[in-house]
A and B are shown apart, each in its own frame.
Chain A
Amino acid sequence: MHPKRHLLLVTLSALMFVAASSPTHTQVADPTDAFFDGSVLHDVKLWINSRDWETLKTNFLSNAYYPADLQWNTETIRNVGIRSRGNGSRSGFKPGLRVDIDRYASTQKFLGLKSFVLRNNTQDPSEMHEWLSMLFFKRMGLPAPREAYARLFVNNQYVGLYTIVESVDKSFLTRTFGEDSGYLFDYDYPADAAPYYFEDRGRDPAIYVPLPFKPETHENDARPEVIANMVQAINASSGAVFRGAVAEFIDLGQFIRHVASEVYLAEQDGVVGEWGMNNFFMYRPEFSNLFRLIVWDKSQAFVMGQAYPVWHNITDVPEANRNRLLNRALEYPDLRALYLDTLLEAGRVASEVPPDALPGDTRGWLEREIDRAYTLIAPSVLADPLKPYTNDEFVASVEALRVFARERTSFVNADVASSR
Chain B
Amino acid sequence: MLSGVFAGLLTLLPPGLFSPPAPVRQAPVAQQAPTPRAPARDIEFRWRDHPQVRNGRLFRVDFVGKFQWDARDPGDDPSDFDNFEIHRARIGIEGELFNRVQFAIERELTEREVENPNPGVNEKSAWKDVYVDANISDALQVRAGKFKIPFGLEQLTGISNLDFVYRSLSASYLAPARDVGVALHGRFFDRGLTYWAGWFVHDGDNARSSTIDGADDTLAVRVTGTPLRSIPGLAKTELGGAFTVSDLDNVSVDPNGLRGRTVMSQFVFYPPVFVKGHRRRYEIDGDWSFGPVGARAEYTQVLDSREGQGLADQDLSDARGRAWYVSGTWVLTGEEKERPVRPSRKFGAIEAAARYERLWFDSAGGEGPPLRNPRADNMLPSGEHVLSLGINWYITRWVKLQFDTIREEPQDPERSPVPPGEAFWSPVFRFQVGI
B253 CB contacts on chain A under 8 angstroms: 51, 55, 58-59
Are the C-beta atoms of A47 and B312 separated by less than 8 Å?
A: yes
B358-377 interface mask toward A, CB cutoff 8 Å, 1 = contact, 0 = none? 00000000001101111110
B310: CB under 8 A from chain A? yes
B371 CB contacts on chain A under 8 angstroms: 78-79, 104-105
Q: Out of A59, A69, A105, A155, which one reaches B414, CB within 8 Å?
A: A105
Give the complex CA separation of A265 and B253 in angstroms. 42
B309: CB under 8 A from chain A? yes
Are the C-beta atoms of A49 and B274 separated by less than 8 Å?
A: yes
Give the complex CA separation of A106 and B412 in angstroms. 12
Are the C-beta atoms of B310 and A106 separated by less than 8 Å?
A: no
Q: Say whether, besides A55-B253, A67-B311, A79 and B274 are in contact (CB < 8 Å).
A: no
A41-73 interface mask toward B, CB cutoff 8 Å, 1 = contact, 0 = none? 000000111111001001100000001110000
Quote the shortest CB–CB distance from B210 to chain A (angstroms): 14
Q: Say whether, besides A105-B414, A106-B414, A49 and B250 are in contact (CB < 8 Å).
A: no
CB-CB nearest in chain A for B369: A78
CB-CB nearest in chain B for A52: B375
CB-CB nearest in chain A for B276: A51
Q: Say whether, besides A55-B253, A105-B414, A106-B414, A50 and B372 are in contact (CB < 8 Å).
A: no
A347: CB under 8 A from chain B? no
B309 CB contacts on chain A under 8 angstroms: 49
B190: CB under 8 A from chain A? no
B313: CB under 8 A from chain A? yes
B370-414 interface mask toward A, CB cutoff 8 Å, 1 = contact, 0 = none? 011111100000000000000000000000000000000000001
Give the complex CA separation of A55 and B310 in angstroms. 15
How many residues of chain B have a CB within 8 Å of chain A?
17
Quote the shortest CB–CB distance from A57 to chain B (angstroms): 11
A79 CB contacts on chain B under 8 angstroms: 371-373, 376
Are the C-beta atoms of A67 and B312 separated by less than 8 Å?
A: no
Q: Out of A58, A69, A106, which one reaches B311, CB within 8 Å?
A: A69
B369 CB contacts on chain A under 8 angstroms: 78
Q: Out of A48, A67, A155, which one reaches B376, CB within 8 Å?
A: A67
| Residue among A47, A79, A106 with the highest chain B CB neighbour number at 10 A | A79
CB-CB nearest in chain B for A106: B414
A145: CB under 8 A from chain B? no
A81: CB under 8 A from chain B? yes
| Residue among B311, B368, B376, B414 with the highest chain A CB neighbour number at 10 A | B311
Are the C-beta atoms of A50 and B375 separated by less than 8 Å?
A: no
B310 CB contacts on chain A under 8 angstroms: 49
Quote the shortest CB–CB distance from B379 to chain A (angstroms): 10
B313 CB contacts on chain A under 8 angstroms: 49-51
A67 CB contacts on chain B under 8 angstroms: 311, 373-376
Question: Which secondary structure dominates chain A's binding surface?
Answer: mixed
A-facing residues in B328-379 (Cβ within 8 Å): 368-369, 371-376
CB-CB nearest in chain B for A48: B311
Give the complex CA separation of A99 and B10 in angstroms. 65
A68 CB contacts on chain B under 8 angstroms: 311
Are the C-beta atoms of A47 and B372 separated by less than 8 Å?
A: no
Quote the shortest CB–CB distance from B415 to chain A (angstroms): 10
Quote the shortest CB–CB distance from B369 to chain A (angstroms): 8
A55 CB contacts on chain B under 8 angstroms: 253
CB-CB nearest in chain A for B373: A67
Are the C-beta atoms of B368 and A78 separated by less than 8 Å?
A: yes
Are the C-beta atoms of B372 and A155 separated by less than 8 Å?
A: no
CB-CB nearest in chain A for B312: A47
A78 CB contacts on chain B under 8 angstroms: 368-369, 371
A120-157 interface mask toward B, CB cutoff 8 Å, 1 = contact, 0 = none? 00000000000000000000000000000000000100
Are the C-beta atoms of B250 and A51 separated by less than 8 Å?
A: yes
Give the complex CA separation of A141 and B249 in angstroms. 55
A96-114 interface mask toward B, CB cutoff 8 Å, 1 = contact, 0 = none? 0000000111100000000
Give the complex CA separation of A58 and B254 in angstroms. 13
Give the complex CA separation of A67 and B310 in angstroms. 10
Quote the shortest CB–CB distance from A92 to chain B (angstroms): 14
Are the C-beta atoms of A81 and B373 separated by less than 8 Å?
A: yes
| Residue among A51, A67, A78 with the highest chain B CB neighbour number at 10 A | A67
Q: Say whether, besides A49-B274, A55-B253, A78-B368, A104 and B373 are in contact (CB < 8 Å).
A: yes
| Residue among A47, A49, A51, A105 with the highest chain B CB neighbour number at 10 A | A49
Quote the shortest CB–CB distance from A62 to chain B (angstroms): 9
Give the complex CA separation of A50 and B310 in angstroms. 9
A49 CB contacts on chain B under 8 angstroms: 274, 309-313, 375
A-facing residues in B125-160 (Cβ within 8 Å): none
Give the complex CA separation of A212 and B19 in angstroms. 68
Give the complex CA separation of A61 and B200 in angstroms. 36
Are the C-beta atoms of A155 and B368 separated by less than 8 Å?
A: no
A58 CB contacts on chain B under 8 angstroms: 253
CB-CB nearest in chain A for B274: A49
A48 CB contacts on chain B under 8 angstroms: 311
B376 CB contacts on chain A under 8 angstroms: 67, 79
Give the complex CA separation of A387 and B17 in angstroms. 83
B284-316 interface mask toward A, CB cutoff 8 Å, 1 = contact, 0 = none? 000000000000000000000000011111000
Give the complex CA separation of A58 and B309 in angstroms. 19
Give the complex CA separation of A155 and B376 in angstroms. 17
Give the complex CA separation of A175 and B426 in angstroms. 44
CB-CB nearest in chain B for A68: B311
Give the complex CA separation of A104 and B371 in angstroms. 8
CB-CB nearest in chain B for A155: B312
Quote the shortest CB–CB distance from A252 to chain B (angstroms): 39
CB-CB nearest in chain B for A103: B373
Give the complex CA separation of A78 and B368 in angstroms. 10
B312 CB contacts on chain A under 8 angstroms: 47, 49, 155
Quote the shortest CB–CB distance from A304 to chain B (angstroms): 40
Quote the shortest CB–CB distance from B78 to chain A (angstroms): 14
B237-268 interface mask toward A, CB cutoff 8 Å, 1 = contact, 0 = none? 00000000000001001000000000000000
Give the complex CA separation of A50 and B312 in angstroms. 7
A59 CB contacts on chain B under 8 angstroms: 253
Give the complex CA separation of A52 and B313 in angstroms. 10
Quote the shortest CB–CB distance from A400 to chain B (angstroms): 40
Give the complex CA separation of A81 and B371 in angstroms. 12
Quote the shortest CB–CB distance from B337 to chain A (angstroms): 46
Give the complex CA separation of A104 and B311 in angstroms. 15
A and B contact pairs by CB, cutoff 8 A, 14 listed: A47-B312, A49-B310, A49-B313, A51-B250, A55-B253, A58-B253, A67-B311, A67-B375, A78-B369, A78-B371, A79-B371, A79-B373, A104-B371, A104-B373
User: Closest 7 A-B residue pairs measured CB to CB?
Assistant: A67-B373, A104-B372, A104-B373, A79-B371, A55-B253, A67-B375, A47-B311
Given pairs A49-B274, A68-B311, A105-B371, 6 additional interface contacts (CB within 8 A): A47-B311, A47-B312, A51-B253, A51-B313, A67-B373, A104-B371
Q: Which residues of B contact A (CB under 8 A)?
A: 250, 253, 274, 309-313, 368-369, 371-376, 414
